[in-house]
Structure 1
Amino acid sequence: MRMSVAANITWTVSEFILLGFNCQKEIQTILLMLFSIIYILTIMGNTSIICAVWSNQQLHTPMYILLANFSFLEVCYVNSDVPKMLANMFSEMKAISYTGCLFQFYFFSMCASEGLFLSVMAFDRYLAICQPLHYSTIMTHSLCANLTFFCWMGGFLWLLIPVILVPQVPFCGPNIIDHFLCDLGPLLALSCAPVPKTTLACGTISSLIIFITFFYILGSYTHVLRAVLRVPSGSGRNKAFSTCASHFTVVSLFYGSVMVMYASPGSGKQSGMQKFITLFYSMATPFFNPLIYSLQNKDMKKALKKLFSGLSQRISKLPKK
């Protein structure tokens, strides 16, 4: 415990205890192995997409540049909470420092950037399908760079709100979080004084970002669907559908989980359900995203094949001991 001096002397917590998954040790071991494999594959999959786009000149287009940034964001997500979760499952010590808890929450809360990236990617697909003749003149590399910068800055600007408000929340015990990470809802539930303004501010901003980007994406794909249905040839229609299918699948995975998580952070959802939804969002969606994008995209599959072929050749040329 640490002491802080305000109007009166009060005790505040210096660390939190993350309970994680309350189950038998044998099941904990199985979960640890499963989550470790998913984590490694997630890092490998998203990193492969980044490297493929970086190394292949043909993929230096707005669509793939946005995809590479999106994959990098996914890597940041899984590294913000999964390593600590795995360490807690492996160890009897499940503590996380007060500062570490806040940092974990800040980095995990960059859903604004993900929503903005998905919106910009929907805008890119809208231009490619609904305005194909003007696509190259509108979606220039300069505009793509500006939109990418906007997506990253949007996430960091959203972080200013919890960065300012959450440290002002009084935590004087208990310090046990029935979760595997420091998320907003469980953190606010431990406050030793009501914090309706913090709950309302964070919930309102989160809901606005989530629903504004969601309805923008929905509107974009409504226009895309209308344009696709007007395509006379079946092959052209199938090509247009396949172009957007992967992105729309990722959008469904993201918003299906994040709306439940952040639309009402202080709602007091059941801890088991909240853990499952958060686990799905933090591990399943970053794991499936590279699979969805690579399996349904011929150019990406070709670039990945070329990347791995080059790596295998370099490894084979290494001197053997």
Structure 2
Amino acid sequence: MQREMKHICSQSHDSILRDTKEDVTVKQFSWETVWDELHRNIPTLISVLVDLADGDVPLTCFIASMLLKKRLPKMCLVQRATSILLYGNGANTKIYNCLQPLMICLSHGGTMNLLDHLGKDYDVDVLSWSNSLLSQLEDPVDSTLVFNFEAEQEINHGYEEDAFDLVDLNADCGDDGTSSDTDKNVEETIHEQADEQELDDLGSSRTDQGNVTSLDTSTTDISTNDSDNSHVLPWKGFKLVGDNVDKNIHPSFDRIYLHTLSLHYYHCFAVLNRIDLTGRLMSLQISGLPTLRRAGAEIWQQYCAIFSIIIHS
């Protein structure tokens, strides 16, 4: 039996009972897995313990785990699971201090460290949400973005060619380079048409810009509504959890003017809700509640069934 215990506790054997940084073994703890590990590596000791425990498999595995932890403190898978079970049932520090020397569980401090290690990433969504809010409050307005936008608008602004610049006024001149009265009238007419064309272009451009803006806005709204309907976010419910802290400060010497100070504090923080209430509370309408005019046991049972979701959550 000593040889078998030495083999299972050695570094060359990767036993599931060994305390490692991985949390898979303690999260997926089962007596069947522990029994297979012990029965395969220490069969002689298990055969003796089975007779002493009258065939009780959990008791046999527990006794064997106590002996292995006594030999090597890192062989504490069963003790880790027991410590979490005791913490869940409200065991205090005195219970841990009594059971830890018997190799039944871990110490109270070791249990707290284990629970912190197991739940270190549980509230990561809450922390990321809080950090995003803080980053939005701390980020100043970037003035370079406004400057770049105005510069881009000036660069992209195109000037249309004037209709008067496209006309060669000297095309029909005589040999001496002078134009006739008819040419002067044509020149004045072209100037008037060019001015009217500029006014028409300016009005049409403003109208087109308004149409394009409204079209872009409606298109954005449609695309946003489509994306909202097609993409359903996962459940992200939060609960506000808090507790009061009472501290009594006793003076070193009793005096008439020195009394016990009673300090009361309250702390509150947000945690991620474990219960998915998607489609439960929102689907319940006020019209679906039974009326109180008909008092009786049936009406009371209906109210209890309706509000059981809220109470248990």
User: Structure 1 length normalisation: TM-score?
Assistant: 0.20
* Relative contact order, higher structure (CA 8 A, sep 6+): 1
Q: Which protein shows a greater Rg?
A: 2
More helix by percentage: 1
